[in-house]
């Protein structure tokens, strides 16, 4: 299969290297090209196999993972996923240059191992999309080592964000959608217990659309509308199968989790000029920064106008910072974005 993600697994435990490599190889998107037992062996394997992502333990002989990262990243900028049972040191490793962290399972039941493999594979796939890595205060551009081509930009992706009044505003926009409409991702500020109810209500209102609450790792398709889960950030990525999302707990961004800014920024990065961003009624400034990034990357952006907004806060901030290409009354937004 073309465009598989080439992975190097580095861990001092031969058993863990064998188990991790076997579990990860079950994913058709991932190819384990080599394993190493310590950083010195890993250095040689990096030069020989030129992997796309490295999975790295922290506590190892000869040199720990943190020191290795500090020396490695400036010379060999590669996305690194920490896989360790020591979370405090793992966070330090992220500061040293790792892009993500997965904790090793303490229980070795089949169910736990399968859940661990799913989580590790997802984070490796996300890490493989990184364009830069940071070590200390310096950002380094990732040099793609394999012959993987850049993501196909032929597909449109619609991203919608809002807050107060946005639940009804989204319904108004979806009236113009069909099974052939581009996939849409939606962030509306609401508590965790309400997002699944909201998705269910929209499904009943628009049975021809595939409307679901966000689940980690799900792929998007035409006619799908994905609602961000409460208390989880939704991000969109793209591989050769298409757009897919992550739905993960995290700190509040722009005052919210889920955050419109987080979702918009991920859409800008994966869809570029094929992104369509919509900022709806709501209080505050969440979404303005991310919408500006969509516009800066060549995407099309729309802001709900003052007269049809319940609270003209989020659309106003986005308009004032230059993020909005066009302001429209709510009733015209759906037709407008589907015509692009």
pLDDT given at position 282: 97
| DSSP secondary structure string for all residues of 1-37 | -TTPEEEEEE-S-HHHHHHHHHHHTTSTTEEEEEEES
Quick check: 68 and 139 in contact, CB under 8 A? no
Q: Is 100 a catalytic residue?
A: no
What token pair was written down for 103? 């904790």
Is 163 annotated in the active site?
Answer: yes
The domain segmentation of the chain, as residue ranges, is 5-141, 157-338
Q: Are 260 and 160 in contact (CB under 8 A)?
A: no
Residue whose structure tokens are 């989204």 = 170
- Say whether 157-338 and 5-141 share the same fold: yes
* Interatomic CA distance for residues 166 and 320, integer angstroms: 20
Class of domain 5-141: alpha beta
Q: Which of 189, 239, 247, 285 is catalytic?
A: 189
Catalytic option among 27, 57, 261, 286? 286
Coil, helix or strand for 227?
A: strand
Q: Which residues contact 205 (CB under 8 A, 6 or more apart)?
A: 171, 174
User: Which residue out of 128, 163, 181, 309 is catalytically annotated?
Assistant: 163
CATH superfamily of 157-338: Methylesterase CheB, C-terminal domain (3.40.50.180)
For 216: left if phi > 0, alpha if psi spans -120 to 50, otherwise beta; the answer is beta
Residue ranges in the chain whose pLDDT is less than 50 = 1-2, 146-154
Count of Cβ atoms closer than 10 Å to residue 59 Cβ: 14
List pLDDT tens digits, range 124-159.
999 988 888 888 888 887 866 543 333 333 489 999
Q: What is the pLDDT of residues 172-205, one digit of tens each?
A: 999 999 988 999 999 999 988 899 999 999 999 9
């Amino acid at each position: 299969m073309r465009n598989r993600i080439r992975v190097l697994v580095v861990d001092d435990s031969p058993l863990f290297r064998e188990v991790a490599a076997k579990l990860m190889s079950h994913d058709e998107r991932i190819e384990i090209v080599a394993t190493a037992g310590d950083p010195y062996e890993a250095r040689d394997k990096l030069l020989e196999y030129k992997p796309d992502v490295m999975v790295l333990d922290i506590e190892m002989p000869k040199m720990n993972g943190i020191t290795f990262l500090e020396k490695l990243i400036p010379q060999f900028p590669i996305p690194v996923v920490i896989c360790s049972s020591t979370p405090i040191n793992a966070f330090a490793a992220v500061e040293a240059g790792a892009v993500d962290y997965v904790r090793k399972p303490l229980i070795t039941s089949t169910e736990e191992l399968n859940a661990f493999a799913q989580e590790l594979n997802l984070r490796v796939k996300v890490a493989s999309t990184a364009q830069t890595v940071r070590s200390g205060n310096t950002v380094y551009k990732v040099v793609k080592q394999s012959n993987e081509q850049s993501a196909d930009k032929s597909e449109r992706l619609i991203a919608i964000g809002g807050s107060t009044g946005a639940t009804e505003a989204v319904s108004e926009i979806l009236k113009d959608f069909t099974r052939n409409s581009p996939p849409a991702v939606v962030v509306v500020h609401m508590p965790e217990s309400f997002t699944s109810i909201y998705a269910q209500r929209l499904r009943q209102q628009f049975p021809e659309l595939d409307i679901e609450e966000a689940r980690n790792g799900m792929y998007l398709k035409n006619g799908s509308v994905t609602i961000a889960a409460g208390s989880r950030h939704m991000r969109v990525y793209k591989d050769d199968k298409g757009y897919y999302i992550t739905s993960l707990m995290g700190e509040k961004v722009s005052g919210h989790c889920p955050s419109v800014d987080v979702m918009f920024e991920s859409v800008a990065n994966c869809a570029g000029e094929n992104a369509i961003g919509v900022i709806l009624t709501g209080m505050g400034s969440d979404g303005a920064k991310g919408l500006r990034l969509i516009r800066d990357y060549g995407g099309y952006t729309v802001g709900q106008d003052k007269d049809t907004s319940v609270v003209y806060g989020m659309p106003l901030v986005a308009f004032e910072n230059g993020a909005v290409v066009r302001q429209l009354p709510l009733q015209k937004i759906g037709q407008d974005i589907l015509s692009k």
